[in-house]
A and B are shown apart, each in its own frame.
Chain A
């Protein structure tokens, strides 16, 4: 799943870079300083746009016959790919395809870790990624909200997805 060669890192068939988690949080902090609470929308949109395009093209997803595969299987594969992103341990705790209702958990979010003690939800970039990834996989627009966060004193970060 992960290939590291000189000049080239490939994860799940996608060319990638290895970054210290502080790269994202430092970027967030600088945008926050200029735009205030609007930083949330900016990072949510960035994550959403990226994953809407990326999720359907992951090698592991591409190998699954789209017409016959259950959507639950596609979601599980997507989460398996995300587990290799080294940004926390992901888990889907609710899949309700009938009502487009999902719950996603991330243990040890590397984006939230530097903000522990802040008393706020801080994983808007991840929320956008989850919204974009799930929406593209199930073929319906979803919105994602972080409802628990380790930066807010919770044990894990939890995200609720609902149909738009």
Chain B
């Protein structure tokens, strides 16, 4: 799996496209600054996560070449494969906890977006992993080829043991 990530000199590439490193503390301060400055920070982070993963999926399909159509023809398999890829981006340990015809539930342990809240002992009243929610929505939309909405239902920033995301199939994001 790590073969998807290549290191050339000091640069890192995912599916041949350069990726940058953002430490989780910088991610936290970036979120904080945006939250205190714009009207709908949650929506901005969600939409940005979704856009970013959409671009990644395009590179993934290009990277797979001839084997892409076979993988993408089986949504369950494609979803599992792409979640494995996401696991190597450092977002946390992502797994599919439940998959039903109308719903998919993901769990993320040690979410990179919420971990600094825990480190700083900052308790949030609401889940904070908006970018990861957007990323998971983007992944599901790419695989299922249908609009979805992803809602974070548990978050370590609120004191939960892990973060949980529920995707409702057929709901617009």
Decide whether A and B assemble into one complex. yes
Indicate if the CB atoms of B22 and A17 lie closer than 8 Å: yes
Does B24 belong to the interface (CB within 8 Å)? yes
Indicate if the CB atoms of B29 and A46 lie closer than 8 Å: yes
Question: What is the bound-complex CA distance between A9 and B29, given in angstroms?
Answer: 19
Q: How many A-B residue pairs have CB under 8 A?
A: 156
Most buried by B among A18, A42, A110: A18
Does B44 belong to the interface (CB within 8 Å)? yes
Indicate if the CB atoms of A20 and B17 lie closer than 8 Å: yes
Question: What is the bound-complex CA distance between A17 and B48, given in angstroms?
Answer: 15
A47 to chain B, nearest CB (A): 7
B22 to chain A, nearest CB (A): 5
Indicate if the CB atoms of A18 and B14 lie closer than 8 Å: yes
Cβ proximity bits B34-45 to A, threshold 8 Å, 1 near / 0 not: 100111000011
Chain B interface residues toward A at CB < 8 A? 1-2, 5, 7, 10-12, 14, 17-30, 32-34, 37-39, 44-45, 47-49, 51-52, 55-56, 87-94, 109-110, 112, 115, 131
Apart from A19-B20, A22-B52, what are 20 other A-B pairs with CB-CB below 8 Å?
Answer: A4-B90, A7-B92, A7-B94, A7-B109, A9-B88, A15-B90, A15-B115, A17-B89, A20-B17, A20-B52, A20-B55, A23-B48, A26-B52, A35-B38, A42-B37, A46-B26, A85-B21, A86-B10, A87-B21, A125-B30
Closest 10 CB pairs of A and B: A9-B90, A7-B93, A46-B33, A50-B26, A50-B29, A14-B23, A17-B90, A87-B20, A23-B52, A18-B19
A-B CB contact pairs (8 Å), 25 listed: A2-B12, A6-B93, A7-B91, A7-B109, A7-B110, A8-B110, A9-B90, A11-B23, A15-B112, A15-B115, A16-B23, A17-B91, A19-B22, A19-B89, A20-B55, A21-B19, A22-B51, A22-B52, A35-B37, A35-B38, A50-B28, A53-B25, A85-B20, A86-B19, A86-B21
